[in-house]
Amino acid sequence: MKVLVVEDEAKIADFVCAGLREQGFTVEHCANGTEGFEHASQGGYDAIVLDIMLPGRDGLSVLKGLRKAGVATPVILLTARNELEDRVEGLALGADDYLAKPFFVEELIARLHALVRRVSGERQNVLAVGKLRLDRISREVTWFEHAVDLTSREFNLIEYLMRSPGRVLTRTQILEHVWGYDFDPSTNVVDVCIQRIRKKIHSIAADVESPIESVRGVGYRFRKLDAGAE
């Protein structure tokens, strides 16, 4: 696990970095906010430990800048004991956790582990292909950031297709997976359901090609879309 520590007080930085390295973390350290922002925005970290009071750019400004730039790396803020307002503001700006000084490095390590576990768990619950995003927990689907109102069956069908972008799934496979029991193979429930999903997606972005492709005589395939596809 690779962690960026942004902390100007040498004593704190030393014990944090040493403690993390001892536990097998890969650690990089920056002693001011400007440098911290530059490193953090290049990405590649599993988490960032960010002090609030920093020379150069302060921690809250660094955090705000990162979230604005779309950097979603989990952040733990280090706050002084009485900085309640900073903590509240930090959480509002997108910090994932905070730790008040003084603290034990063991606690920081425990929080880092919990945070990274939580974030990777959340990531697995979200499928994203191109501009289509599906959340397995809330069961919400968005297309170009607009909610697509799907029935439970439609949701299960699109989830099944999205799990294997580029792969053709036959009507029988879809029937078995989404309807869960043997249907008369001549039934057209799959086609009807796909049509409904396409219509809903089309109503959001009419000039965009449907992400669900028909493969004549076989079944359906979810297009491989890259994140920038529009």
- Interface residues with Ca ion (CB under 5 A) are 8, 51, 53
Instruction: Tell me the closest approach of the beta carbon of residue 50 to Ca ion, in angstroms.
Output: 10
Q: Is the dihedral of CA 168, 120, 66, 136 positive or negative?
A: positive
Full DSSP string of the chain: -EEEEE---HHHHHHHHHHHHHTT-EEEEESSHHHHHHHHHT---SEEEEESS-SSS-HHHHHHHHHHTT----EEEEE-TT-HHHHHHHHHTT--EEEESS--HHHHHHHHHHHHHHHHHHHHTEEEETTEEEETTTTEEEETTEEE---HHHHHHHHHHHTSTT-EEEHHHHIIIII-S---TT--HHHHHHHHHHHHHHHH-TTS--SEEEETTTEEEE----TT--
Instruction: Tell me the closest approach of the beta carbon of residue 54 to Ca ion, in angstroms.
Output: 6
Instruction: Tell me the closest approach of the beta carbon of residue 51 to Ca ion, in angstroms.
Output: 4
Nearer residue to Ca ion within complex by CB, 8 or 46: 8
Instruction: Tell me the closest approach of the beta carbon of residue 55 to Ca ion, in angstroms.
Output: 8
Nearer residue to Ca ion within complex by CB, 72 or 104: 104
Beta bridge partners of 100: 79
Nearer residue to Ca ion within complex by CB, 101 or 177: 101
**Residue number with the smallest Cβ distance to Ca ion:** 53
Nearer residue to Ca ion within complex by CB, 51 or 97: 51
Nearer residue to Ca ion within complex by CB, 51 or 86: 51
Beta bridge partners of 5: 29, 49
Nearer residue to Ca ion within complex by CB, 77 or 161: 77
Instruction: Tell me the closest approach of the beta carbon of residue 86 to Ca ion, in angstroms.
Output: 12
Instruction: Tell me the closest approach of the beta carbon of residue 110 to Ca ion, in angstroms.
Output: 22
